[in-house]
Amino acid sequence: MLNFLQIRDYAIVESLDLEFSGGFTCVTGETGAGKSILVDALGLLCGNRADTSAVRDGAQKAELTAEFSLEPESPAMEWLQSTDLANGEQCLLRRMVNESGRSRAWINGTAVTLSQLAELGELLVEIHGQNEHMLLLRQEEQFRLLDASGGYANELTGVHEAFHQWAELEQQKQELLNEDPLDAGDRELIQYQIRELEESMLTSEEFLALEAEHRLLARGGELLEALNRSIEALENDPSGAESIVHGNAQRLAAYAELDADIAEAVNLLHNAAIHCNEAASSLQSARSRLKSSPERLSELERQLGAQHDLARKHRVEPDQLEQVLVKMQQRFEHADSLEGRLAILEERLGQALIQYRQSALELHSRRKEQASKLSGNVSSLMQELGMEGGRFEVGVEFSDESRPAARGSDRIELRVSANPGVMPGLLKKVASGGELSRISLAIKVASREGNGSATQIFDEIDAGIGGDTANAVGALLKSLSASGQALCVTHLAQVAAFADHQLQVRKLAEKDSTLVRTNVLAETERVDEIARMLGGRLSDQSRAHAAELLARASVRH
């Protein structure tokens, strides 16, 4: 239930703080006073898109805040708990829109995305606009209204899961069918290329090892000369590096005790002599392994050349030929097993389709029951809405030949007759705009029955009706709020008379600004406001009429 709404610098509103109660609240006031601004503000708090027009002229940003109280097991509370955003039984929404139209949002003090705000908003508030009844002509809305009130969430989930299992297998099948088949010529060519690679190709490790050996042999002469000269420089006694370093270390050792730096130098020279000796040993070992072999060098050049030829043939680097071989083998194996894989997939698809049809049939059965119940309830309400003798029918047909869909295999048709003795026809063909609006309201009342959002908001949905029908609309809206909360922006005195609370909106023009003011009306003030709505001018007669409307409405409910 909506408890509180705060508006700062939004549209033409500079500052507004509103408190709400449960039950049925009507928002009334002169045309253009700003009644729908309250609805638009709640829409933004529930995730609607914002633009620069949201910010009041002269202000830098608009700020909106709303507080809701929630039942412990309500869908909104479950959503908050699942997202770790719950904070007791209260829910605080806040949104800020800057001059550029960019916005930020918070739920219970935590920054959230616009999509998160919209998800929660759908569970907190349902906003019904003036032209919303046109949605009834869309299949998506017809399914939504029927399923939302059916109480068969398990069947809906079963169909949804069965459909996605089937769809995933169907996609795999299409991917298989899109694979390029191999004709006899392609198969022969790939088999030849695979044999050639298997017989002649070097692995990447073998190729790199041969390359290293080739580099060593190709520079063998100059390397041998460099090794000999280095070994001679290290070992040529007495002028070799090791002997010189070692001799200097011995001469300085007698003076090491006299100076710490000399002692350090002696130690370093001893280590250097050891390193020179070890370096000489390593170079001798390398020289012993170096063998100059023109025959081996020629063989390496032949092997490496063949590898490069293969690589050019397949347009890759020589060390990538292994990957080429694996891909060719996979393609051949896939093409060779295509028919078998398709057969297995077709069998799995058949089983998935059987499961889907079974789930869809179970859902159809539940939908038929709910459609019959909804048809009767809406038809009863039509009698109260000025369509005596009218009938409403929800037709649900099942097709076990149709392509699977996430919502099942049903097709819905809404049929209506607004006059007695006339067979119901398709809603989109026989209902006028006014009838469609009233039928839409009847469906909302009939399909809710303890379901849906706690707060229902109607923005001038009663446009174009009057007389007894307006009384009936007011009574229906009153009944809709019995299990929660309903707000209605209206120009109809007959509708406002049924309200538990009446909120008056006024626009005040000052020298440099326009202000919007609201006031929750006391009983005596309601008489004047309803009298104004009846005729525009206040008089004893209009006040008497207003008082009569209020009295009749209170007796009726």
Give me the DSSP letters along 195-211.
HHHHHHPPPHHHHHHHH
Strand order in the sheet with 501-509: 125-128, 455-459, 485-489, 23-28, 501-509, 514-520
Degrees (nearest 5) of the Cα angle 104, 109, 115?
45
Q: Is the bond preceding residue 75 a cis peptide, omega within 30 degrees?
A: no
pTM for the model stands at 0.63
Residue type, position 13, single letter: V
* pLDDT attached to residue 336: 64
pLDDT of residue 79: 94
The whole-number pLDDT of residue 294 equals: 67
Encode 387-410 in three state secondary structure. Answer: CCCCEEEEEEEECCCCCCCCCCCE
- Domains of the chain in sequence order: 1-132+449-557 (3.40.50.300), 184-336 (no CATH)
240: enclosing H helix or E strand? none
b/e map 155-164, b = 16+ CB within 10 Å: bbebbbebbe
CA distance 430 to 424: 8
Beta bridge partners, 397, equal 411
Q: Residue 450: its pLDDT value, please? A: 46
Query: Residues 460, 491: contact at Cβ < 8 Å?
Result: yes
505, two tokens: 């909106």
φ, ψ of residue 24 to 5 degrees: the values are -110, 120
Q: What is the pLDDT along the chain (557 residues), one digit of tens a residue?
A: 999 999 999 988 888 999 998 899 999 988 878 888 899 999 999 999 888 888 988 889 999 999 999 988 888 999 999 999 999 999 999 999 998 889 999 999 999 999 999 999 988 998 887 666 677 788 888 898 888 878 898 999 999 999 999 999 999 888 888 776 666 677 777 778 888 887 778 888 888 888 777 777 766 656 666 767 777 777 765 666 777 777 777 777 777 787 788 788 878 888 887 887 888 788 777 766 666 666 777 787 788 888 888 888 888 888 888 888 888 877 776 766 677 778 888 999 999 999 999 999 999 999 999 999 999 999 998 888 878 888 999 999 998 778 999 999 999 999 998 888 788 888 878 767 677 778 888 887 787 654 555 788 888 777 667 777 888 888 888 888 877 889 999 989 999 999 999 999 988 877 677 778 889 999 889 999 999 988 777 888 888 999 989 988 887 65
Read off the DSSP letter of residue 318: G
Calpha distance 265→275 (Å, rounded): 15
- For residues 85 and 17, the answer to whether their CB atoms sit within 8 Å is no
Q: Which two tokens stand for residue 18?
A: 């509103």
CA-nearest of 481, 529, 527 to 505 is 529
